[in-house]
Structure 1
Amino acid sequence: MAPFMDGTAESPPNNKPKPSGIHVLIVGAGFAGITAAIECVRHGHTAQILESYKSTNVQLGDIISFGSNSSRIFKRWPGIPEKLDPICHRSEKLEYRYWNGEHIYTQYWGTEEENFGKRYNGHRGEIHKIIFDYAIELGVDVKLGQKVTEYFETDTEVGVVSNGERIMADVVLGADGVRSKARTLVLGYNDAPKPSGYAVYRAWMDSSELAKNDLTKDLVLNGDSHTGWLGPDIHFLAASIKNGKEFSWVFTHRDERNVDEGWSEPGNHEDACKLLEGWAPEVHAIVRMTPPEKLVDWKLVYRDPLPTWVSPKGRIALIGDAAHPFLPTSIQGASQAMEEGSCIAVCLELAGKKIAADALRAYEKIRYERVRLTQKTGETTRDAWHKADFTKLKENPEAIKLKREEWVLNHDAEAHAYKMFPEVVKELRQ
């Protein structure tokens, strides 16, 4: 049996939970933090989020993908799937082309959604706003404009210092992203990021100009589409969304610049097109028609796998990118972050307030290997596209298919946590 294959396991019903008395403090209101807060409330805990942004109206980012494994979580949140569906990408296939525009292969999704569950691909900011508002409706206490400068824990206390105020909780979740301050306390040293050797140019924009251009109009005039151009050490993905009215594109390329130069900055059209020299004219047209303010140059950082996600006294845990940054080619970073929140909420429920530290250690043990294996898919997918033998690809075009692993997608994080917790806690106590 493939690892983690328990997607059909039953989860407890969505009855009103019995209050646990556990107060969970979460640093960061990204998808990891928001999901953890919502799931904690669902399982009877109270949740408070400290977020550095001063406003919830910031529509940051571009396209983000949620696999079937995370749509199981969305499905448990009343009204959320219905709000997400109209703003997300709808396409039954991904068309692969060589860098010169010649067709390689078309991958059809077939019965994947029917077998595993729905996928959601849409604008990061729009999806986040829907989920953020739902968290507020549930009673999650969100404090904006917070600058967390310190994490602390003793045998009896745990909390943070934010805006000069000491804030206490029963457990603290560091969902503060790739620049996490919690990571230093958990590890006992500063874990500096490294260049991954790759960077991406990316954008999200209105598609009206693309619709007027003979080179690009077929990408947007017939509803949503999904196209990928592949070449030596570069892949370029483009998708039209909202029935072709909006457009997102991203291309990954080699880049050895030091991450200290900044991880995200405005992109330059000339630099991007220089990397695409010799590529299909429609690819150049997409880049050239991107409004300057929409073009982003984003370096992909890498961190060595952490030896632990839990602090020495077991009261602080890292979740999401703070624990494990994913490459975009995994198409699982956001989904794994959501799984984390679901798992922790269950573990806290089963452990209880007196031994909440056991919950965080159990969470780590339940999640660690699954995350490590899923992270690797980002490298294998990238290499399958970038390192392909393009001279022989016509003989075996399926070699560049995006793998859709059942053990990744047909997974229920909540059911898995209920199933594994008793066994894992027993091992930890022994």
Structure 2
Amino acid sequence: MAPQLSIVIVGAGLSGLAASIQCALSGHEVTVLESAKELAEVGAGLQLTPNATKILQKWDVYQHVNKPAEPRTCTVYNYKGKVLAHEDNFDKNNRRKYNAPFSDCHRVDLQQALAKRAQELGVEVLLNTRVTDINFSGEERDGIKEAAVSTESGTTLLADLVVAADGLWSTCRSVFLNRFAPPLPTGDLAYRIVLNLPQIKDEKLRKMVQEPAVRFWVGPDAHVVAYSMRGGEMYNVVLLVPDDLDEGVARTQGDLDEMRKLFEGWDPVLTQLLECVDKVDKWKLMHREEMKSWINPQSNLVLIGDACHPMLPYLAQGANSSIEDGCVLGLLLSPSVNPGFASKSDLPSTLQLFQKLRKARGEAIARETFKQRRDFHMRDGLEQEKRDKLFEMWLEKAKGAEIEGEEEFPSRWTCPVVQPWLYGYDAFKEVEAAVAQASKESASL
């Protein structure tokens, strides 16, 4: 008999729902606890890269996301509007290279598609359920200790495994560390904007929104990313600027005049777009120090997603790497995929294999986001001129074709060194290879 775990996942964000789907597909009893009362439109737009869409397609989730937009081009402008980098056929190039699409969507559209698929697979999703404490030292059954998850309403759920997918401000992380450790400010904040097409009156801007593309404007201490969502009916704009929020303030309503003043003198296309905005939120961008382990000593808790490897949004990998986490964890808990998980007593070694597969990658991506900030936020001067000459060299070399080579490129979105290891990651093949290696090592003992 294949072992069936009772799994409690804390958090119905992208990592939690992703883990719930693959764990359910692997035959486990899964309950997701979410403190929010509904899966509402928080977080605005989301860029889905091939390393995640490959997974979503296999789960039959991508096909049910509301009108994902595949950008046909990817362009980097300097803050005055000069083209620094451009790639035509960005959509086709990604599909050809990675056998999966690069898409832009609304976060809630993906979240709801994931939740629907999870529930179809028998996952119980409990909203308005806040976790307050976890006791990891419960009764031992089948070689593993039960965990008891306590909620604000006074209920307790018993689990063979707790998956901490409760994000940047993770309660599970605090319980695990036995102390409250707030996230650390990165020094940046994000103005997050969603424009509906009727808000945009200028015909040239409307046409820009309706033709899917990814656009960046890079300048001193700041950059902007913009892309279409919901088939060109909405436009997502994120302005990344120095953090001026008070300590302890994670999110607040932004001042429109203050926002526009920060981009005075930038490309008129951008400043005209900002005139269409009637409301904006400011989000402090936070990160955390790397953890020694994502697994507790009792091997009945594992952290995934932003709970253990939050990252700046500068490579759009926070969501995508979280989906990878959920997929890899669930696959390793499938005896048909991983023969090393033959009984509940194999849970500790299986979680260690998960950590071996995921920790180095998650942390490497997080570090890479800071490098992208450095290259996009250069002030005018010698370093910026050197960067722009490198951009120009690649632009001349590309001549409308995709960039190839072994040199790093200032925009990792089209970098021939970084893009392949970001977008080319295949969770299913990585697990298959890791399981084969583990089996080989076990046989040699």
For this structure pair, what is the TM-score category when the shorter chain's length is used for normalisation? 0.7 to 0.9
Amino acid paired to 1:274: K
Match of 1:157 in 2: 146
Alignment check: 8 A CA contact 1:226 1:239 kept: yes
Shift of 1:19: 5.2
Which residue pairs with 1:30 in the alignment? 13
Mean CA deviation greater in 264-273 or 170-179: 264-273
- Paired residue for 1:6? none
d(CA) in 2 for partners of 1:102, 1:415? 41
Task: Determine if contact 1:69/1:410 at 8 Å carries over to the other structure.
Answer: yes
Question: For residue 195 of structure 1, what is the aligned residue in structure 2?
Answer: 185
Task: Give 1:379 shift.
Answer: 1.3
CA distance in structure 1 between the partners assigned to 2:134 and 2:245 by the alignment: 31
Which ranges of structure 1 fall in alignment gaps of 5 or more residues? 1-17
1:174 pairs with 2:172: no
Q: Specify the alignment match of 1:345 in structure 2.
A: 330
Give the Cα separation in 2 of the matches to 1:344 and 1:102. Answer: 44
CA deviation string 1:73-113 (max 9, x = no partner): 112123x33223x6112222122222122333313335222
40-49 vs 278-287, which moves further: 278-287
Q: Which residue of 1 is the match for residue 274 of structure 2?
A: 287
> In the alignment, is residue 42 of structure 1 matched against residue 30 of structure 2?
no
Partner amino acid, structure 2, of 1:136: Q
CA displacement at 1:148 relative to structure 2? 0.7
Distance 2:38 2:389 in 1: 53
The Cα of 1:422 is off from its aligned counterpart by 6.2
Show the counterpart of 1:127.
110
**Does the C-alpha gap of structure 1 residues 22 and 243 become closer, same or farther in structure 2, counting only changes over 3 Å?**
closer
Give the Å deviation of 1:32. Answer: 0.5
Q: Which residue of 1 aligns with 2:419?
A: 405
Partner of 2:406: none
- Name the SS of the counterpart of 2:16 in structure 1: helix
Shift of 1:26: 0.4
Q: CA deviation at 1:61?
A: 2.1
Q: What secondary structure sits across from 1:178 in the alignment?
A: coil
Match of 1:68 in 2: 50
**Once superposed, what is the RMSD of the aligned Cα atoms?**
2.2
Task: Identify the residue that residue 316 of structure 1 maps to in structure 2.
Answer: 301
Which residue of the other structure, out of 361, 369, 385, is the alignment partner of 2:360? 369
Which residue in 2 is equivalent to 1:99?
79
Give the Cα separation in 1 of the matches to 2:214 and 2:300: 44
Gaps (5+ residues) in structure 2? 395-408
Partner Cα distance (2:126, 2:344) in 1: 24
Q: What's the offset of the Cα at 1:394?
A: 4.9
1:332 aligns with 2:317: yes
Matched to 1:420, the amino acid is A
1:160-206 deviation digits (Å, cap 9, x = unpaired): 10121111011000111111111123233332211101111111120
In 2, the alpha carbon distance for the partners of 1:377 and 1:358 equals: 29
Between the aligned partners of 1:220 and 1:193, the Cα distance in structure 2 is: 35
How far off is 1:243 after superposition?
A: 4.2
Deviation at 1:215, TM superposition (A): 6.7
| Matched residue, 1:270 | 257
Measured in 2, the distance between the counterparts of 1:168 and 1:106 equals 53
C-alpha contact (below 8 Å) 1:27/1:49 kept by paired residues:
yes
Q: Which residue of 1 aligns with 2:402?
A: none
TM-score by length of 1: 0.87
CA 214–87 in structure 1, closer or farther in 2 if over 3 Å, else same: closer
Report the CA distance between 1:54 and its aligned residue. 1.9
| SS across alignment from 1:201 | strand
Query: How many angstroms apart in 1 are the aligned matches of 2:54 and 2:424?
Result: 9
Structure 1 residues 301-331: Cα deviation after superposition (integer angstroms, max 9, x where no partner): 1211111111121110111101110110122
What secondary structure does 1:203 align onto?
A: strand
Q: Percent identity?
A: 25
| Residue number in structure 1 paired with 2:70 | 90
Q: What are the Cα deviations for residues 363-411 of structure 1, in whole angstroms up to 9, with x where unaligned?
A: 1122111111122221122211112744355533245433352122222
Deviations 1:230-272, CA, capped at 9 Å, x for gaps: 1111111222334432111011111154541x21211111111
